[in-house]
């Protein structure tokens, strides 16, 4: 399979370029917005803080926002790649498969009925929600003679999403106070989150990132088919299970920080494979970087479309992702 | 053929056979609709006994009861019946055309498209008369249907591709509605939010008269076209060889389906899974012949929305939960069951 960046040298060059682009976008995201600032102000905010509006905006709003977008985008990109490899399905995504809806339902339930407020609990509950929803969708999708099929997975995901969001909606109507607490979170945004959220979740993120790259080789083998992988001496069930755990960690982290954001993980693996071919390690890296780029771009766009109000970033990524989804669904399901 | 009753209008125009079972089930369903409606009319902040409700409906009730029943509760009940029937018939047509048990206007995003247009209309033309809402929602449903069909077309339309792309369109429509709400003035936001889950809260007689002619007219037309749906259900090859003008019929039927969906959405928003549930139950009870299945599913759709609305009003009174929450709470597990049942297809 030919790819755009065939040699390792070019691939490394590509990574360097992606990092450069990320730096520029982070810069843009720091500076532009309802209050336009300058690079100088941004540096001053840390070296020379004087309590002015610009400085507060930079410190409290913009910097967390950039860091959130970078990390969450990376998580979503990785999660998408792993999910597409695990289900051998071109249209896999955390939103489509109901992981986001499951996490949202569990969080709203916990806030409404159990009254949790600690960030750590919040994180664990969204892990649990994503895991439960993901497991149900995976099981539903693998019933039947022909095993896992994209259509069954997508439909199961749609059904689980519908079920989870209707129950969640009902709970929110019943408890208005809790609604206020979670509504901002449900909209899906990388803005308006304090750095504490990210700090709480960051250790898990790191673990999940490392685990994803460690699993890259076994996944590569698994992609050749269960029988081949078994023949090569792989314990496929163990690999699949670990990949599942990593996916849940990644999407749970992303949801805990930024709320439900979909379709980043649908788009980036395809772009990554287009760029670097089928080597899972490179695809993972590129997909993660592209995820960060996409999320930063979507976040900057979300500020400008309805200025001074902001469009939820989940809406932006859905609008970018759906045409892509339709393209892939048309192209890739005939085999 | 003693068990069948044949109805025929003109020689070539329209005809269908009704099994006796169909007639009995339909009558039974109609009775349940009436019973649930009467019970539901009596429920609320002020409880009124079913007998008193009946008296009011016959024009001999007390004035106080009459005010509550006729002005406040009856419009909502009538809307529930109309919306339920419209959605159910739309779903029955869709399932006949697509020949896939998982297809329904809301799963395929047609309701979502109608919502986009309805919300857009409310926000962009604040001063415009609300009576334009059904045609606008109809327009949205129609355009979405076209889009869905065009995007799914690749040397013909396979049901599976249709369903996949429909799911995508549904999500996109949800995103656009959220976006539109962001742009809308605060007062409209609550109203617009209802479109996302579906609710028939706060409807009045104007709404009833707005959609009544559409629902009745469209269901009648669908009934007249019943035998064409039956032919479509046989599959493309057989239908063509039976002399059916396949594509033309399909086009008309899709239009009717879109119009019914749009009408329902224009007052009720995106009430999910009714269009999926009702036709399935009907077919389980009396078989797939469209004329009967359509009639029975219209009644069943009315029952589902009536009951869901009753629960939505009463379960956590005085707080009202949107009716769409309950229809999806029942409908989604059913959908999963269907998915499981059809796993080997």
The whole-angstrom separation of Cα A133 and Cα A201 is 20
Instruction: Give the residue numbers spanning the domain of A300.
Output: 8-332
pLDDT confidence of residue B244: 65
How big is chain B, counted in residues?
345
Residue B16 backbone phi and psi in degrees, to 5: -155, 160
Q: Which CATH architecture has domain B34-341?
A: Orthogonal Bundle (1.10)
Domain total for chain A? Answer: 1
* Cβ–Cβ below 8 Å for A333 and B316: no
pLDDT confidence of residue A295: 93
pLDDT confidence of residue A335: 43
Residue burial A296-335, b: 16+ Cβ < 10 Å; e: rest: bbbbbebbeeeeeebbbbbbbbbbbbbebbbebbbeebee
pLDDT confidence of residue B1: 47
* Cβ–Cβ below 8 Å for A170 and B167: no
Q: Is residue A3 part of a domain?
A: no
* Cβ–Cβ below 8 Å for A170 and B344: no
Which contiguous run of DSSP H or E holds residue B5? strand B4-9
Q: Is residue A252 part of a domain?
A: yes
Q: What angle do CA A176, A115, B327 make, to 5 degrees?
A: 50
The domain that contains A224 carries what CATH number?
1.10.3470.10
Three-state secondary structure string covering B120-185: HHHHHCCCCCHHHHHHHHHHHHHHHHHHHHHHHECCCECHHHHHHHHHHHHHHHHHHHHHHHHHCC
Both tokens of B72, joined, read: 């406040």
Domain ranges in chain B are: 34-341
- To probe the interface with B, which of A90, A187, A315 has the most B CB atoms within 10 Å? A315
Partners of residue B175 in chain A, C-beta under 8 Å:
314-315, 318-319, 322
Look up the ipTM and state it: 0.82
Q: Is the Cβ of B330 closer than 8 Å to some Cβ of chain A?
A: no
Average pLDDT in chain A: 84
- Minimal Cβ distance to B171: which of A143, A151, A322: A322
Nearest CA in chain A to B337: A140
Both tokens of B210, joined, read: 């707005």
Cis peptide bond prior to A222, omega within 30° of 0: no
pLDDT digits (tens, 9 = 90+) for A216-254: 988 888 888 888 888 888 888 888 889 988 998 898 888
Alpha-carbon distance values, A50 to A37, A46, A57, B269 (Å): 15, 9, 12, 51
Both tokens of B6, joined, read: 């044949």
- A9 — pLDDT class (breaks 50, 70, 90): confident
pLDDT digits (tens, 9 = 90+) for A271-282: 998 888 888 889
Q: Give the DSSP per-residue string, A205-272.
A: HHHHHHHHHHTHHHHHHHTT-HHHHHHTT--HHHHHHHHHHHHHHHHHHHHHHH----SHHHHHHHHH
pLDDT confidence of residue B13: 63
pTM above 0.90, yes or no: no
Q: Over range A169-178, report the average pLDDT.
A: 75
* Cβ–Cβ below 8 Å for B169 and A333: no
Q: Is the Cβ of B189 closer than 8 Å to some Cβ of chain A?
A: no
- Minimal Cβ distance to A333: which of B164, B319, B329: B164
Those residues of chain B that have pLDDT short of 50 are 1
pLDDT digits (tens, 9 = 90+) for A29-59: 888 877 777 777 777 777 777 777 778 777 7
Q: How many CB pairs under 8 A join A and B?
A: 124
pLDDT digits (tens, 9 = 90+) for A204-215: 899 999 999 999
Q: Is residue A1 part of a domain?
A: no
* Cβ–Cβ below 8 Å for B172 and A143: no
Q: Under DSSP, is residue A15 helix (H, G, I), strand (E, B) or coil?
A: helix
B44 to chain A nearest CA, in Å? 17
pLDDT confidence of residue A124: 84
pLDDT score of A317 more than 70: yes
Partners of residue A262 in chain B, C-beta under 8 Å:
171
pLDDT digits (tens, 9 = 90+) for B10-46: 666 666 667 778 888 889 999 999 999 988 888 877 7
Least confidently predicted of A23-27, A96-100, A283-287, B101-105? B101-105
Task: Identify the DSSP state of B17.
Answer: E
Q: Is the Cβ of B341 closer than 8 Å to some Cβ of chain A?
A: no
The whole-angstrom separation of Cα B268 and Cα B262 is 10
Which contiguous run of DSSP H or E holds residue B6? strand B4-9
Nearest CA in chain A to B185: A309
Partners of residue A144 in chain B, C-beta under 8 Å:
343-344
């Amino acid at each position: 399979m030919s790819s755009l960046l065939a040699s390792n040298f070019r691939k490394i060059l590509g990574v360097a370029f992606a990092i450069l682009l990320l730096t520029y976008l982070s810069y843009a995201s720091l500076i532009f917005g309802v209050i336009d600032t300058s690079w100088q102000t941004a540096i001053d905010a840390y070296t020379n803080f004087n309590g002015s509006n610009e400085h507060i905006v930079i410190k409290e709003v913009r910097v967390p926002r950039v860091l959130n977008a970078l990390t969450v985008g990376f998580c979503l990109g990785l999660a998408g790649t792993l999910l597409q490899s695990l289900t051998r399905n071109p249209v896999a995504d955390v939103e489509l498969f109901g992981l986001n809806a499951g996490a949202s339902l569990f969080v709203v339930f916990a806030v409404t009925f159990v009254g949790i407020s600690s960030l750590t609990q919040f994180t664990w509950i969204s892990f649990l929600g994503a895991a439960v929803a993901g497991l149900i969708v995976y099981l539903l999708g693998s019933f039947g003679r022909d095993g896992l099929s994209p259509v069954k997975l997508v439909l199961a995901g749609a059904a689980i999403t519908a079920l989870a969001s209707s129950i969640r909606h009902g709970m929110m109507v019943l408890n208005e106070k809790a609604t206020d607490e979670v509504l901002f979170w449900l909209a899906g945004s990388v803005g308006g989150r304090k750095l504490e959220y990210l700090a709480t979740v960051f250790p898990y993120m790191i673990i999940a990132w490392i685990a994803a790259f460690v699993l890259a080789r076994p996944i590569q083998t698994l992609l050749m088919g269960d029988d081949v992988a078994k023949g090569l001496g792989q314990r496929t069930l163990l690999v699949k299970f670990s990949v599942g755990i990593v996916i849940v960690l990644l999407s749970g982290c992303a949801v805990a920080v930024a709320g439900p954001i979909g379709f980043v993980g649908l788009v980036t693996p395809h772009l990554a494979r287009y760029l670097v071919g089928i080597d899972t390690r490179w695809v993972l890296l590129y997909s993660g970087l592209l995820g960060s780029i996409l999320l930063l771009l979507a976040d900057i766009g979300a500020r400008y479309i309805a200025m001074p109000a902001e469009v939820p970033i989940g809406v932006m990524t859905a609008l970018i992702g759906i045409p892509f989804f339709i393209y892939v669904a048309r192209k890739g399901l005939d085999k | 053929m003693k068990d069948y009753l044949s109805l025929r209008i003109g020689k070539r125009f329209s005809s269908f056979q009704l099994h006796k079972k169909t007639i009995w089930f339909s009558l039974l369903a109609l009775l349940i609709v009436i019973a649930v409606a009467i019970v539901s009319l009596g429920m609320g902040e002020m409880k009124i006994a079913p007998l008193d409700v009946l008296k009011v409906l016959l024009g001999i009730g007390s004035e106080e009861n009459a005010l509550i029943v006729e002005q406040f509760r009856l419009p909502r009940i009538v809307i529930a019946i109309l919306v339920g029937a419209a959605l159910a018939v739309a779903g029955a047509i869709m399932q006949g055309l697509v020949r896939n048990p998982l297809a329904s206007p809301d799963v395929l995003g047609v309701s979502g498209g109608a919502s986009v247009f309805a919300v857009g209309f409310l926000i962009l033309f604040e001063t415009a008369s609300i009576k334009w809402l059904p045609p606008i929602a109809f327009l949205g449903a129609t355009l979405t249907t076209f889009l869905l069909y065009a995007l799914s077309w690749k040397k013909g339309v396979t049901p599976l591709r249709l369903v996949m792309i429909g799911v995508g369109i549904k999500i996109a429509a949800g995103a656009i509605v959220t976006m539109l709400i962001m742009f809308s003035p605060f007062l409209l936001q609550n109203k617009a939010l209802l479109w996302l889950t579906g609710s028939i809260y706060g409807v009045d007689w104007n709404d009833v008269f707005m959609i009544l002619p559409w629902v009745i007219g469209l269901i009648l037309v669908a009934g007249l076209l019943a035998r064409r749906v039956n032919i479509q259900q046989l599959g493309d090859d057989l239908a063509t060889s039976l002399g059916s003008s396949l594509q033309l019929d399909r086009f008309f039927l899709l239009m009717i389906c879109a119009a019914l969906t749009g009408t329902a959405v224009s007052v009720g928003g995106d009430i999910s899974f009714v269009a999926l549930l009702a036709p399935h139950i009907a077919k389980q009870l009396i078989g797939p012949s469209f004329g009967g299945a359509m009639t029975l599913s219209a009644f069943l759709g009315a029952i589902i929305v009536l009951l869901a609305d009753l629960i939505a009003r009463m379960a956590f009174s005085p707080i009202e939960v949107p009716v769409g929450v309950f229809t999806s709470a029942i409908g989604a597990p059913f959908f999963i069951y269907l998915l499981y049942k059809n796993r080997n297809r």
